[in-house]
A and B are shown apart, each in its own frame.
Chain A
Amino acid sequence: EVQLVESGGGLVQPGGSLRLSCAASGFTFSSYSMSWVRQAPGKGLEWVSYISSSSSAIYYADSVKGRFTISRDNAKNSLYLQMNSLRDEDTAVYYCARVEIVGATRWFDPWGQGTLVTVSS
């Protein structure tokens, strides 16, 4: 069974840092691109970052560029999101998602269950 399990969320003060992890199982992790997507309380979905299978291509949403860093360890089947200089508006559930790329088609499937990050003093 394909599974993604996020961890590392919690309460952090504005300006603080947090590192999220996503453990993958049930598929060949090193063959897939991955992404982080977040959802503020009661709000819609917002894409955060993307990393290709070999880490050769990395992209960020403008809202987190320069503050967040995505990385992966294919030997450990794990995806990470280092979040620095956190702001109140970064409060959200953070999901990791596998990126399916078939020809020109792209989509997110599956998604993890999410981990809640709360930025508050």
Chain B
Amino acid sequence: GEDVEQSLFLSVREGDSSVINCTYTDSSSTYLYWYKQEPGAGLQLLTYIFSNMDMKQDQRLTVLLNKKDKHLSLRIADTQTGDSAIYFCARGFNNNDMRFGAGTRLTVKP
């Protein structure tokens, strides 16, 4: 199977919380990342978490890491229409080996 897996679509209402999930297979990963891609644009690094952490919070973003289950999630609080984008989970353990999921398309409805 794929090294990093994500569900392809998520739809939420404005003001709700969004939770985007990701699973990975390589337990030796040292960093896990979340990137955001708006239509027709490149990827923007949102946040990352080191593999010895369980949680990282940055304003509206909360990253949770369950190392036992190899599960990573990104929670966006108070989701806004501007949060509509594709969100990529990625894992890496050195500079030249970063693997991306297929991306989750988040749609925020007013």
Partners in one complex: no
- Interface residue ranges, A against B (CB under 8 Å): none
